[in-house]
Structure 1
Amino acid sequence: MIGFNKPYFTGKETEYIIQAVTHEKISGNGLFTRKCHDFFQKRYDFNKVLLTTSCTTALEMAAILIDTQPGDEIIIPSYTFVSTANAFVLRGATIVFADSSAQNPNIDASDLEKLITSKTKAIVVVHYAGIACDMAAVMKLAERYNLFVVEDAAQAIDSYFEDKPLGSIGHLGCFSFHETKNVIAGEGGMLVINDKRFAERAEIIWEKGTNRSAFFRGEVDKYTWMDVGSSFLPSDMIAAFLYAQLENIDDIQNRRKEIWNNYHEALLPLSEENLLLPYIPAYATNNAHMFYLVCSNLEERTALINYLKQKGVHAIFHYLSLHKSAFFQSKYSGHALDQADRYSDCLVRLPFYYELSQSQIRQVTEAVSSYFARKTQISLSL
């Protein structure tokens, strides 16, 4: 069976973890945390970054930083992971769901303005599959209505909107280094602070609500409780693992793009048969986070997944629309979100990881192609 995901190790992860241990600083904000921070700030020109225990906690920090209060409305796409919404629900916010685009699962920017009310505080965009949302349209709306923009860039490391790195455009950006992402730390995340007015407070929230970081820099003679906060910073051993990955990010990205291009070239002929391949707008780059297909309906998606399993290929679907989730369904009274439901029913992800071999890629693409060839033959015989 060709598995859906396999974590890739560069070879230096354990070496750097041992270095972190020998420095006798394995709690948060140690040597490798600073190395990671420096890497991201230099490579992507991020204003300020803070490693977090996950993208979930980065989103939770973002919700605190924009001062989310009960009754505030936060616009997010329905087709996303639960953390995108839950971070703001924890602060008492009212979630307002937006639909996805017909071309890809990203938020439909043309659907946003009608959702804005006097209670709207922020728009949270999700760069699905590492492909940029229409950030020009989103930021224009945010400026017009004085709203915050949070980028859920969990899947979007090393991807761009025009010439701007994703995560650097909104007021705040949130990344994931979960084992399914391009660069990994097992678990882990990062908050990018683009709006300088949040920089000092973000560090305090990150350090359990204290000014401990300023104390260790010698900026104050003692540290104390300053604000709300939690234990958002990861162990330096997690940062050590991540740093080994970051040193190899170009190699990792090149291989993933090669795999993505192989998939696309082999499956492009099927796009004429009511099968949607990933759509990348002219303003977006491709970081090769995943390769997905969109089938014509739920029945076809289910049949394809089952067929691929019989052929030794583990393909899986993805999110279920949050507005139809067990938690939210009884609370939702908005308009129909047809595209979000379409992706929930029809999207399937193919195996995707660094060590996927050329023969395995052929096995996957030949299995997909044979399914649709078989389907065509059955239709012709009826």
Structure 2
Amino acid sequence: MAIIPFNKPYISGNEFKYISESVESGKISGDGIFTKKCHTFFEETYEFKKVLLTTSCTDALEMAAILIDIKPGDEVIMPSYTFVSTANAFALRGAKIVFADSRKDHPGMDENSLEALITSKTKAIVPVHYAGVACDMDIIMDIADRHNLFVVEDAAQAIDSYYKGKPLGGIGHLAAFSFHETKNIISGEGGMLVINDESFAKRAEIIREKGTNRSSFFRGEVDKYGWVDLGSSFLPSDMIAAFLYSQLENLQKIQSTRKKIWDKYDASFRGVLDKNKGVRLPVIPDFATNNAHMYYLTCASPEERNTLLSHLKGKGILAVFHYLSLHKSRFFEGKYNGLNLTETDKYTDCLVRLPLFFELDLNKQKYIIDSIHEFYS
């Protein structure tokens, strides 16, 4: 039986040509010709004030934690239903992680629960735009403004997605994107820091260059460079940027195809599974757009979820569950003393992600849909 994978990386056309051009340029380390092309694309397409490619979204988040000067004892609020990198970046700086519950209608953080989590030690809020669907950023930014907090958007899944007409990643003080092979636009591994508060721009370059003012030296702004701040090696090779730039050239084609796949799933299930079988389908709030990063079902129970996964596996279909609640993780055992996060636990126990990738053809998608309907019949 043919296996339908959960994900298949898409090669858009010029990846290897551009990698060859990068090699032939004689500069394949960071900040070469294709890194600059990628920076220009994001700054012009989404009007981000400044962007810096990184080796991963994790690195971008770690840079953000350094930039906002996280120190031991500072508190950072974020959802428990997220990838471990969201928490790790701030925990590495000594922060106390304060977890918020998910919304009832969506795995993203419950914005209305945030105010009660703030203390005199709170330093930042880290909203995660789960599945590329925006958190309610007006609520979050209002809370941050009133309490003098930083907002770092975890936009790992949110490329080409919007909140009330504003691109995600362009609203908080800082933001982090991922180009991991499971994302809409990929470079294998890779990420990007977005700097919306220009007061962070110069220091961000220094942190990304191992704590040196090397970027200023190359621009001729100083006659020598040295160690001036904390930092690490967060720059990706220009070959990674070359791969990424080919993907960016095909952004609209990739997005259009993914949205057709997402819409077909939704049209096949809406009004059937959610009305008759008690399955919760994705919700896109009025303030958000859908970038078709993922399609998921939320089953009625953990037993139903596990049986569905087994059923699909028996059909040669690789569907997967997603995050495990971070507040119940082995690392956090004994550290969490907050409220019960009932919605977070619901998604941990019951959510199923379906295959969604550029080359998922109609016949294979129909087979997946029919297999799910067969299970629920």
**TM-score category of the 2 structures, normalised to the smaller one:** over 0.9
What residue ranges of structure 2 are gaps of 5+ in the alignment?
A: none
Shift of 1:11: 1.7
1:148 aligns with 2:150: yes
In structure 1, distance between residues paired with 2:315 and 2:88? 37
In structure 2, distance between residues paired with 1:301 and 1:202? 43
> What are the Cα deviations for residues 135-190 of structure 1, in whole angstroms up to 9, with x where unaligned?
01000100010000000000000000011000000000100000000000000000
DSSP-derived class of the 1:226 partner: coil
Name which of 304, 310, 314 aligns with 1:306.
Answer: 310
In structure 2, distance between residues paired with 1:329 and 1:170? 30
**Amino acid of the structure 2 residue aligned with 1:299:** E
> What are the Cα deviations for residues 223-249 of structure 1, in whole angstroms up to 9, with x where unaligned?
111100000010000000000000000
In structure 2, distance between residues paired with 1:265 and 1:364? 14
What residue ranges of structure 1 are gaps of 5+ in the alignment?
A: 374-382
DSSP-derived class of the 1:117 partner: coil
Name 2:367's counterpart in structure 1. 363
Name which of 339, 352, 355 aligns with 1:351.
Answer: 355
In structure 1, distance between residues paired with 2:344 and 2:163? 22
> What are the Cα deviations for residues 7-39 of structure 1, in whole angstroms up to 9, with x where unaligned?
000121010000000000000010000000000
In structure 2, distance between residues paired with 1:222 and 1:38? 27
Shift of 1:311: 1.4
Shift of 1:271: 1.1
Per the normalisation by structure 2, the TM-score is: 0.98
DSSP-derived class of the 1:331 partner: coil
DSSP-derived class of the 1:220 partner: coil
**Amino acid of the structure 2 residue aligned with 1:333:** N
**Amino acid of the structure 2 residue aligned with 1:32:** F
In structure 1, distance between residues paired with 2:237 and 2:317? 36
**Amino acid of the structure 2 residue aligned with 1:19:** E
Name which of 254, 257, 260 aligns with 1:255.
Answer: 257
In structure 2, distance between residues paired with 1:110 and 1:249? 34
DSSP-derived class of the 1:329 partner: coil
Per the normalisation by structure 1, the TM-score is: 0.97
**Amino acid of the structure 2 residue aligned with 1:276:** R
Name 2:227's counterpart in structure 1. 225
Shift of 1:217: 0.9
Q: Compute the RMSD of aligned alpha carbons.
A: 0.5
> What are the Cα deviations for residues 35-73 of structure 1, in whole angstroms up to 9, with x where unaligned?
000000000000000000000000000000000000000
Name which of 168, 171, 175 aligns with 1:169.
Answer: 171
Count of residues in Structure 1 that have an aligned counterpart in Structure 2: 373
Structure 1 residues 170-179 or 219-228, which shifts more? Answer: 219-228
Name which of 138, 152, 161 aligns with 1:136.
Answer: 138
Name 2:103's counterpart in structure 1. 101
Name 1:202's counterpart in structure 2. 204
In structure 1, distance between residues paired with 2:300 and 2:334? 28
Name 2:187's counterpart in structure 1. 185
DSSP-derived class of the 1:173 partner: strand
Which 4+ stretches in 1 moved above 6 angstroms? none
In structure 1, distance between residues paired with 2:299 and 2:281? 9
Structure 1 residues 264-273 or 30-39, which shifts more? Answer: 264-273
Q: What percent identity do the matched residue pairs reach?
A: 64
In structure 1, distance between residues paired with 2:352 and 2:369? 13
In structure 2, distance between residues paired with 1:29 and 1:226? 20
